[in-house]
Chains A and B, each alone.
Chain A
Amino acid sequence: MTTRGPRTVSCLLLFGLLASCLLVTTGRQLHLGNCKINVHTQELKQYFNEIRQSVLLDDNHMGLRLLKSLTMKDVKAVESCCFLRMLLRFYVERVFSSSAAGQSQIRRSTSNLANSFLSIKKDLRQCHAHMQCHCQEHTSHKFAAIQTSFEKLNPKEAAVKAMGELDCLLDWLDSFHHFRH
């Protein structure tokens, strides 16, 4: 055992590492209908965790929620690509641009998130070019409702709220990962 022990341990650890790496690589890929994109959700969540606490405290409008989990779950898988594309565009064009966070840490995390969203959007555009990302009217309405709610508030408060609800968006993205169970 004394000689076999360390070898076994190292083998098992190596195996575990490989397995986890495999999981991470498979976890990166999102299946949005027919569109397959690579998204580092773990990385996105890390960026969000850095700003989460402050953003949540800044949001004083408890009664208004832009992204509702139930609404997101109702989006069909085929239309998820389209829906995500609209959301990303919304965040990049309306939220991140108007969030004027004072702290440098939050600003950095916000810009990181914005860059990641842009890269995902580029991938989605390719899917869209191949006619794999098209939305039905129902889904377009959902997105319109979000925009309406957003516009009810002043841009700064709305941006904070939208930032605080990124968690919901990322969880929704995670649900498209493929896990072997």
Chain B
Amino acid sequence: MHGHGNEKYIAHGTSLPKKTLLTFICLLTLEATVVAHGSTVAPPQGVRFNSYNLKNVLEWKPGNRVGNRTRYTVQYAIYGDREKNTERVVWRSKKQCRDVLQTVCDLSNETSDLDDEYYARVKAINTAGASKWTTTSRFIPKRETIFGPPIVKVTVNERKLVIKLKGPMRWRFGNSTKEHSLAKYYRQMMYNVSIHNIETKQTMIFLLHNNSMAYGLLNYSTEFCVSAKVLFLSLVRQTRASEDQCVTTAKDPFFDQILLVMLGYILPLALTVFSLSLIGCLVYHYVFGNKQKKPSNLWVNHLPDPERQFCADVWLTVNLISVGVPKPNSEENNWEPDDPPAPPFPPAKRPEEEQPPVPRISAYANQTCAPPIAPPLAPLGDDGRAGAWRHHSLAWANVSQGSDYGIVVKAPSLEEEEEEEEEEEEEKGEAGPEGRGAGSSSAVGSGAQPSEQLTREDRAQWATSYRQQFQAARTSACQEEEEDEADTDGSILVDWDPKTRKLQIPSLCMLQLEPEEAEEERPECDQVEPVNILSDLYIRQSSEEATEPEDVLTNMENNWDLQINMDK
């Protein structure tokens, strides 16, 4: 139409100048091309019904090279609805979908009859004109609609799942106020319910004709996810499943109780007991655990052996026995026999200190257990120890004057002098000078030489002191012997050698081993010795000491079985 107008305008404009004429010719050609293209507006593409729960929406896409201002018009037709006397179908316009910009058109109201089948067509209209109609294929709503998810309500009743299903509901078209389930239109419609157990990851599937079901009994505190969709056994239909609705079954009441007991009673109790025991442990360690330890530098490495010390005592005791001085003293009564033995005697200890490498037992054996024949030689021919002995005994003789520690080796010399004097007076025996010479040569005698120069009073004092010691040492010896040798009953023999002037009493070890030999030797000594010095000595001792109650000598007699010759 416009084109015609332009042509008329050109025809009438001949009077215009040439310039304007050319311009209009150009415009004319432009318009002509536009008109020629207007009849070929690209029609909409992909026109189809999209039906969801019987909501039937026509959709299409714009054709090629169609501007944004393109408008669309929609028509629909019912299959078999023809005009009278013709076989052409009746196309009906959709008022709401005439000259619209959008590319969708809701035809739910127009296609609501489920027994009918429909067609629809769309054309594009723009300034250039209108396109051809694009028609859909035959649309059968009842057959082609997509079934949406049903409405699922899941409730938990203790250990049961109660599932209620509804729908899917038909799209509410037109002015209808009531919702209708699609089940109303599809008699064969069923529900496919799947119950997924989260714990065991198992899925149970149920086919339902009715709207509700109960599922149980289930485990406590277990999560289940329920989903449902529409199912047709005999029809091919597109269906959509509902979203998972997850529920958890009730908690186990017993478990709650157990938990309460555990957390409320047992756990606090255990904690309390543990903390109490911990505190107790700590307290105990605090009170008793800090024992003071002796520093390592205070530890004594060399402790004297008490058993070996005994032998030394015995040896000393032997020497003391020879110091019997018949002078009763008031101090004797004060002396308690139960007192512990006197401190270790110097002679016993000194050799140890000076010559530790020499074994003590062997040393004592030389002294104590030496055979009676060898005495004069033994001290002299002995090793340096004997020499040392001498010096010490000498030194001790001086020291002992002021103290109670007596020089045990001095006794023989004192006694011998007395005895010699007596002998000289009585018999004027030949043994005197010999004995004196021998005595001087002996180790013990030599040690006692300085004492010879002492006065008589001094000697008496010495005697008392010796006596004290003798008693002390003897008691200790007696005690120890009573303990150690209760079962050994043998007589202890004292051997007196007149030549050496030395009294030899075999040591305990010798007595134990050879009591018979010692006894045999004694007569020999008697035979060899014409003078019985010891008997006199003992007589004196016994005569004076016997008066004393519980005399030490009697004890000795009882304990040692001493045989005392009382004949003279």
Q: Which residues of A contact B (CB under 8 A)?
A: 1-2, 5-6, 8-9, 12-13, 16, 19-20, 23-24, 27, 41-42, 45, 49, 53, 56-57, 59, 61-65, 68-70, 73, 152, 164, 167, 174, 179-181
Contact = CB atoms under 8 A, between A and B. Distances in A.
Q: Tell me the interface secondary structure of chain A in the complex.
A: helix
25 contacts: A1-B219, A2-B200, A5-B197, A5-B200, A8-B204, A9-B202, A9-B203, A12-B206, A16-B205, A16-B207, A19-B207, A20-B207, A27-B234, A45-B236, A56-B137, A56-B138, A57-B137, A59-B138, A62-B138, A65-B117, A69-B116, A70-B115, A152-B87, A174-B234, A179-B187
Contacts of A61: 87
Contacts of B87: 61, 63-64, 152
B137 A12 contact: no
Contact of B234 (A19, A42, A70): A42
Contacts of B137: 53, 56-57
Q: Tell me the interface secondary structure of chain B in the complex.
A: loop
Nearest to B114: A69
Interface residues of B, number: 38
Nearest to B86: A63
A56 B80 CA distance: 13
A65 B209 contact: no
A64 B234 contact: no
Interface in B193-214: 197, 199-200, 202-207, 209
A8 B77 CA distance: 53
B205 A23 contact: no
Given A27-B234, A63-B83, A152-B87, A13 B138 contact: no
Interface in B131-174: 137-138, 140, 143
Interface string B75-89: 001011111001111
Contacts of A70: 115
A65 B80 contact: yes
Interface string B205-227: 11101000000001100100000
B80 A64 contact: yes
A152 to B, nearest CB: 7
Contacts of B207: 16, 19-20
B271 interface: no
A58 to B, nearest CB: 11
Interface of B: 77, 79-83, 86-90, 115-117, 119, 137-138, 140, 143, 187-188, 197, 199-200, 202-207, 209, 218-219, 222, 233-236
Contacts of A9: 202-204
B230 to A, nearest CB: 15
B209 A181 contact: yes
A166 B187 CA distance: 20
Contacts of A2: 200
Contact of A63 (B90, B143, B235): B90
A1 B199 contact: yes
Given A69-B116, A167-B140, A179-B187, A62 B234 contact: no
Contact of B79 (A6, A27, A41, A62): A62
Given A19-B207, A20-B207, A42-B234, A63 B81 contact: yes
B252 to A, nearest CB: 12
B222 A1 contact: yes
